[in-house]
Amino acid sequence: MWLDQADGFAEIFKGYLPYYLLVVFPIFIIMSPVNPVAASHEFSVYRMQQYDLHNVPHGCRSSSFNLEGRSLSSWGTSRHCVVARLQDISVDQFVEIRNKAGALVLVLPKNITLLTDEEKEHIRLLEMAMMQQEINVPVYFANWSPEFEDIIADLQHSFITDDKSGTALEAMFNTVSSNGYQIVVSTSSPHKLESKPVTLHGKLFGRAGNTQTIVIAAHYDANSLVPELSTGADSNASGVAALLELARIFSRLYSVTSDRGGPSILFVLTSTGHSLNYFSTKKWLEEQLDSADATLLQDVSFIMCLDSISSGPLSMHVSKPPKPWTAAHSIKSRLRVPVVHKKINLADETLAWHHERFSIKRMTAFTVSSLQSHKDPSRSSILDTPSDASLNTLYTNIVELSRALASHIYNLTDENIQTHLYDEALSVDMESIKLWYNYLSSQPRAPHVVTTSQNGGVSAALERVLSKFVEVSVSVHATDRREPEHALYGPTRALLYVYSVKPAVFDLILTLAIVAYLTVLYFAMQVFPRFYEEYAKIVTGKAKVH
């Protein structure tokens, strides 16, 4: 039989089996492909914003890393990735991490609306610190999840530290019992995004013979540290919702010839706001003023910009106090709001308010906002989330705005007529405001997202709804080729893998344990014959006879 013949061959084979493995395994290992190992945890994470404004770099400049995870207290070198809760990290700690650590992963609070005012204030301070200057280490944000919470807790209570502590035995026990985490984000290196800011505008034509135009403008992007989480409810979903509501109300009024007001109303939605220095507004203005028939902006009585109008009573921000008997003064007196005067400072990196873009071109413009100062951190915060209270404030403010506008357009002064008119025609529809406010504040609307989305996204949705009320034109803008005003960088999101690992020493200890076990096994086999004899004696009651 061939098996018997193989015995001789098997003898040689058997003698060399362990040595032959030494050759075969390396070959196997070289040949086998690098298998993508399934990590025990996989998270969707959002990269901190990165953009250049006038060639000045902002935000986080790198994206990929593969480092050991550590907690806020135990990290030491640039080989560590710090993992922490957003509310736990202090500004000083952040500055140190920015300078020395390898990467930073921040987990957002479980429920942003449940934070106390102190925590919110802390997060705003931190955001300001993080925005201050560019960061060279990768910074990622993750949504809260129970798994991530476990990992953070594990890292915080981990015994893995760099300083030698306790006895050798203690240290050994620690390496066996503790979990380490290897944190990996592999994504494309930062690259410029193909950004196409747009401006939507549509005009309601007033009575023939009246050439005056009122412009209502709002920007629909949001700004915060994390582009994918910039859902900006107050800034500026509220402004856009108000603009859409005004467009709805006045398009209905203007559709009846007898009710049509004198001046035309031009609605303008721009896709880049304060974070990119109102770039699309600037481009759009240049286009309109340079075009052959500059009828659109020929006789502008005033430009009203809506920005963050859901957090309280309104104020009117101007660069030049309105003179009496002008249209701006008329609307100011009808709005009955305080005027905040701030001169344009061209030396600043960005303009303060949206209206300054128009004021530079010598147009009468003002911004209506609930905020008292353009420096308010809530304009660029991830804490800017929708709430019912804000929605109610927004509703009241829209009612105020529409009343003021209507009474200006129809030049009404008598209170009674006004009340009657409001009831009839100016009914502000809470449902449609709510719909748009909630829709917009559920969408990430950072310039990184809205100006780069392939199939329209928020811009397309806004174009569709605005075209129900007015005829919409879309202007697409491009940055200057030689000296780009701004550049946006991706990737904005990535996948984060967390591998649980053991320290390198652990394998050595495991080897020792295995060797000890095998030694015991070896001696057990050696003493087995003697054991068998004794055992047989016990079982059969007699000494075994051979």
Partner 1 sequence: MTLYHFGNCLALVYVPYHMAYKFSGISEYASFSKCVYAGGLYIFTQLCKMLLLATFFPDSDNSHESGEYDVLLEILKATVDFADLFGLYFALNSIPGKGHAKILTAAVGWASAEVLVTRSVFLWVGARGSEFSWRYVRACAEANVSLLQTAGCATLVWLRARSDLPPRLAPLVLSLLLLAPYRSLLEDALAAALSLSPWPLLALRAVHAAVVALAALAAYAVLAQQIAV
| Binding stretches for partner 1 (CB under 8 A) | 3-4, 6-7, 10-11, 13-14, 17-18, 29, 32, 35, 37-40, 182, 499-502, 507, 510-511, 514, 517-518, 521-522, 525-526, 528, 532, 535-536, 539-540, 542, 544-546
Note whether 329 and 320 are within 8 A (CB): no
Choice between 4 and 423, CB closer to partner 1 = 4
Query: For 221-277, where are the alpha helices, taking DSSP H only?
Result: 239-255
Choice between 342 and 502, CB closer to partner 1 = 502
Choice between 105 and 214, CB closer to partner 1 = 105
**Nearest to residue 271, comparing CAs of 9, 448, 65, 523?**
448
* Residue 372 beta carbon to partner 1: minimum distance, rounded to whole angstroms: 53
* Residue 149 beta carbon to partner 1: minimum distance, rounded to whole angstroms: 20
* Residue 177 beta carbon to partner 1: minimum distance, rounded to whole angstroms: 11
d(CA 323, CA 355) in angstroms, rounded, equals: 17
* Residue 374 beta carbon to partner 1: minimum distance, rounded to whole angstroms: 48
Q: Give exposure, 185-207, as e/b (b: 16+ Cβ within 10 Å).
A: bebeebeebebbbbbbbbbbebe
Choice between 17 and 476, CB closer to partner 1 = 17
* Residue 70 beta carbon to partner 1: minimum distance, rounded to whole angstroms: 17
d(CA 17, CA 24) in angstroms, rounded, equals: 10
Choice between 56 and 525, CB closer to partner 1 = 525
Rounded to the nearest 5 percent, the helix, strand and coil shares of the chain are 45, 20, 35
- Decide the pairing of beta strands 103-107 and 80-85: parallel
* Residue 528 beta carbon to partner 1: minimum distance, rounded to whole angstroms: 8
Choice between 23 and 521, CB closer to partner 1 = 521
Note whether 340 and 319 are within 8 A (CB): no
* Residue 521 beta carbon to partner 1: minimum distance, rounded to whole angstroms: 6
Scanning the structure block, which residue is given the tokens 């009573």? Answer: 313
d(CA 208, CA 257) in angstroms, rounded, equals: 10
Residue type, position 446, single letter: A
Choice between 292 and 538, CB closer to partner 1 = 538
Choice between 389 and 536, CB closer to partner 1 = 536
Give 56: exposed, middle or buried? Use CB within 10 Å, 0-12, 13-18, 19+. exposed
Q: Which residues pair with 41 in a beta bridge?
A: 498
Residue 381: C-alpha distances to residues 90, 167, 378, 475 (Å): 17, 48, 5, 29
Note whether 47 and 63 are within 8 A (CB): yes
* Residue 271 beta carbon to partner 1: minimum distance, rounded to whole angstroms: 42
